[in-house]
Chains A and B, each alone.
Chain A
Amino acid sequence: AQSVTQLGSHVSVSEGALVLLRCNYSSSVPPYLFWYVQYPNQGLQLLLKYTSAATLVKGINGFEAEFKKSETSFHLTKPSAHMSDAAEYFCAVSGGGFQKLVFGTGTRLLVSP
């Protein structure tokens, strides 16, 4: 079985500041890990994914995440926040390709000028 825990339901940063959204996972098999972003009343857009290749994964819009097996973590970072980054972010895990995805509770990122 798989599960993810996202620490912090809300994260506030200033424009230009570092963004760090935390995700810890639990999986009985080598996991696939994902970060998705959701804007109001819209579906989910994939930011990046880890599928057992390089542990440092680069995604769209300047985001990246590092898979750390020893810490069972997959934290999302961005060096410099932009106002347009304000959204809901979901970490998700699956047991491999074509398996169902289990989502964390989400973190709302707030960006102030």
Chain B
Amino acid sequence: GAVVSQHPSWVICKSGTSVKIECRSLDFQATTMFWYRQFPKQSLMLMATSNEGSKATYEQGVEKDKFLINHASLTLSTLTVTSAHPEDSSFYICSAWDRGGSPLHFGNGTRLTVT
């Protein structure tokens, strides 16, 4: 069964509002989680590395004030898209390493549509 749970699976919001996406590791503790973004028919681009108890590490070009990441516990990381705009519409996927460091487990993704 799934070892990483992501919620919601899809969300529609109005421009200017904020949306929170949750990522949970179900049967293991994950000190590190990763957030990816995927545009239609494209590959996954790493947005940030979420570290439990400390600040996230963002990839170059990713706005940290727009994509807020909180990793408050060993089983939960959240991504908040603040003041969403239509260009933020995308498929967001979280992931976490298995206990032994391999493999990387993925959530089922969240389809965000900003109208």
Residue A105 at the chain B interface, CB threshold 8 Å:
yes
With a cutoff of 8 Å between Cβ atoms, the chain B residues found around residue A51 in the complex are 102
Min distance, Cβ A65 to any Cβ of chain B, angstroms: 13
A43 B6 Cβ-Cβ under 8 A: yes
Residue B29 at the chain A interface, CB threshold 8 Å:
no
B108 A42 Cβ-Cβ under 8 A: yes
Band of interface residues on A: 20 to 34
Residue A67 at the chain B interface, CB threshold 8 Å:
no
Total count of chain B residues near the partner, CB < 8 A: 24
Residue A97 at the chain B interface, CB threshold 8 Å:
yes
Pick from A34, A46, A49, A100: contact of B34, CB below 8 A. Answer: A100
Residue of A nearest to B108 (CB): A43
With a cutoff of 8 Å between Cβ atoms, the chain A residues found around residue B100 in the complex are 97
Highest count of chain B CB atoms <10 Å: which of A41, A45, A49, A100: A100
A43 B43 Cβ-Cβ under 8 A: no
A105 B34 Cβ-Cβ under 8 A: no
Residues of A within 8 A of B (CB): 32, 34, 36, 41-46, 49, 51, 90, 92, 94, 96-98, 100-106
